[in-house]
Amino acid sequence: MHSYDFTPLYRSAIGYDRLARMFDEALRSDAQPSYPPYNVELLAEDQYRISMAVAGFERAELEIETEGDTLRVAGRKQRAENAPKSTFLHRGIATRDFEHRFRLADHVKVVGASLDNGLLNIALVREVPEALKPRKIAIDGDNVHLLERRVA
């Protein structure tokens, strides 16, 4: 296991502590199991999809929740007490409970989810507010004089 020191980043870059924390969490989470398997796809410039193989889970047993910049996907298998016990000769389809957390970038929002043929598909889109989009500033000498008069 490698350990990285992000101290120089903290000294020279303001506001990047979140990025360093994400790197640190990613390094620690490498050992975590990846059940159920999932894909993260880039569909278009600002559109993403997470596809998760959740065979054996019903809609009511799956939960998708966003809080702040975190997307949480959980599956809790409901076991009926009076259901007959099965004797498996081979069990290759896991139905254990799971929870995955995904860190969302700024302005990325979940816009929908669907369950189709054992795949849970979560649609995400990045919507940057108009106020934060780049804008062109016209160069006009007259505006500088107006600004100088307001300050004086």
Percent of the chain with pLDDT over 90: 37
Class of domain 36-80+90-132: mainly beta
Higher pLDDT, 135 or 113: 113
Residue 32 pLDDT greater than 60, yes or no: no
Confidence of residue 16 (pLDDT cuts 50, 70, 90): low
Instruction: Give pLDDT, residue 4.
Output: 62
pLDDT in tens, 57-78: 999 999 999 998 899 999 998 8
Spans of all domains in the chain: 1-32, 36-80+90-132
Predicted structure pTM score: 0.67
CA–CA separation, 125 and 107 (whole Å)? 8
**pLDDT at site 111:** 95
**pLDDT of 106:** 85
Length reported for the chain: 152
pLDDT for residue 22: 66
Across the range 114-137, mean pLDDT stands at: 87
